[in-house]
A and B are shown apart, each in its own frame.
Chain A
């Protein structure tokens, strides 16, 4: 797990390479328990959201990753998992029991302290289109309604480090945090997930470059 100085160094390096502009629209960085959910196109996504946060909040925020990808023997992935303090879960949640276990693992690892970075699409896309969201975000919100769900749009990151590449190309990109979302009373799962997806989509800046 990272301490403050090394987190500042890593965050600085990430922002130098990517030239990330950070915008807070409709919410401010606050030290409360949140779930940041964003569109997913690159391995850099989590580190960019993470480095966009102020240090004190950053040190209380960890990403969520798939065990079948980040928990393998691959030494580089293991190192990243260890450094980031990522919470790993099984991607497969076909049975109700498996899904409940998944949500339980996540909520337990968060405790009362940790905020979480999640990518509800479940996998990386190839471009600016956002795939339909998996249901985890909904179940998290049902399991712990007090969590604030903050949509994040990552613009242009897929061009910096696309799927399948190891070296990033330095390019300007933009991290936009939007107004928090809350699960409505009796809101159906599908409607909520679509609303969450749109909340991310809506943050895409209209002016280029972001």
Chain B
């Protein structure tokens, strides 16, 4: 089932042009930069661009299924993200059953609720329901670092499953005058948050000097932050025609999203640095793990969901 409408086609065209341009710039830089420090940056940048092609095409394929694919797509992201999170979490033997429940119980139920459009339940299932995994943990009988282990697992679920699942949950919001177009709301969200990441990276590499939090994320600079936030906000306001919002609303929402995306990135960096690693995994060439790519979504998605619901949902 194809649900590609004209607005979406423009966005796809825009993204394609951006990627072609980026690939071209990458090729030129690859020819011209020779210093060893510069080489490393360019090689990594070109890996990132290649990965962006793959990610965009996968995302597009999931969109073309008209909704079901998006739910499955984000469920898969949750699964892989939680896998990376748990790998780096010092759980004990006694956590095995709780973790089985988290992967094979909580993820299917949460995304089942998303697929069924049960907005009332999907917004509370993980914080209110899945916290009972602590009970399963207590039954396992090992009290070593009990609160820490229990909190780790639940927090992982909140970030990787609860947060991420609010992206496809956008499909079930009922918005008057916007019926059957919610897919574009999802595209708007992903576009603004991910573009903000990319633009912060670009601005940072270009004019970045002053680190924001060197002990947590050495790559993040004030210049990159400001440049990225402002340009992504303008981008969001500029594509307000695919949303149910006015340009002003879309701009303000984009500002909120980019700030939350930044917050998510910094928080997830703090977690992984504490675990003693630079990346959450090796799944996405040049980016690291899947959590390194979606850290900005985890915190922004629930807020965007509720703000949209408050502003325009009937």
A159 at the interface (CB under 8 A from B): yes
Q: Given that A162-B96, A167-B100, A169-B103 are known contacts, is A208 also in contact with B282, CB under 8 Å in the complex?
A: no
A208 touches B281 (CB 8 A): no
A59 at the interface (CB under 8 A from B): no
- Pick from B81-89, B108-116, B194-202, B246-254 the stretch touching chain A: B81-89
B87 touches A171 (CB 8 A): yes
B contact residues around A19 at 8 Å (CB):
80, 83, 87, 281, 283
Q: Which of A167-210 contact B (CB under 8 A)?
A: 167, 169-172, 207-209
A209 touches B281 (CB 8 A): yes
In angstroms, Cα B17 to Cα A97, docked, is 74
A172 touches B93 (CB 8 A): no
B99 at the interface (CB under 8 A from A): yes
Query: What is the predominant secondary structure among interface residues of chain A facing chain B?
Result: loop
In angstroms, Cα B96 to Cα A126, docked, is 13
B contact residues around A156 at 8 Å (CB):
87
A contact residues around B275 at 8 Å (CB):
208
Q: With CB as the reference atom, state the residue of chain A lying closest to B278.
A: A207
B contact residues around A165 at 8 Å (CB):
96-97
B213 at the interface (CB under 8 A from A): no
Q: Mark A152-167, 1 if CB is under 8 A from B, else 0.
A: 0000100100100101
A contact residues around B277 at 8 Å (CB):
207-209
A101 at the interface (CB under 8 A from B): no
B104 touches A167 (CB 8 A): yes
In angstroms, Cα B99 to Cα A167, docked, is 10
A169 touches B100 (CB 8 A): yes
Q: Which of B66-119 contact A (CB under 8 A)?
A: 79-80, 82-84, 86-88, 91, 93, 96-97, 99-100, 103-104
Q: With CB as the reference atom, state the residue of chain A lying closest to B283.
A: A19
B276 at the interface (CB under 8 A from A): yes
Q: Given that A162-B93, A170-B79, A172-B281 are known contacts, is A209 also in contact with B100, CB under 8 Å in the complex?
A: no
B104 touches A171 (CB 8 A): no
In angstroms, Cα B81 to Cα A171, docked, is 10
Of B83, B87, B280, most buried by chain A (CB within 10 Å of CB) is B87
Q: Mark B281-299, 1 if CB is under 8 A from A, else 0.
A: 1110000000000000000
A21 at the interface (CB under 8 A from B): yes
Q: Which of A15-74 contact B (CB under 8 A)?
A: 19, 21
A169 touches B93 (CB 8 A): no
Q: Given that A167-B100, A167-B104, A170-B79 are known contacts, is A209 also in contact with B93, CB under 8 Å in the complex?
A: no
Could you pull out 6 A-B pairs where Cβ atoms are within 8 angstroms? A19-B80, A19-B281, A171-B86, A172-B84, A209-B88, A209-B277
Given A171-B87, A209-B84: 15 more A-B contacts, CB < 8 Å: A21-B282, A156-B87, A159-B91, A162-B93, A165-B97, A169-B86, A169-B96, A169-B100, A169-B103, A170-B79, A170-B83, A171-B86, A172-B83, A172-B87, A209-B281
Interface residues in chain B, defined as those with a beta carbon under 8 Å from any beta carbon in chain A? 79-80, 82-84, 86-88, 91, 93, 96-97, 99-100, 103-104, 275-277, 280-283
Please provide the 7 A-B residue pairs with the shortest distance between their CB atoms, ordered closest to farther. A169-B99, A172-B87, A170-B83, A167-B100, A171-B87, A209-B87, A165-B96
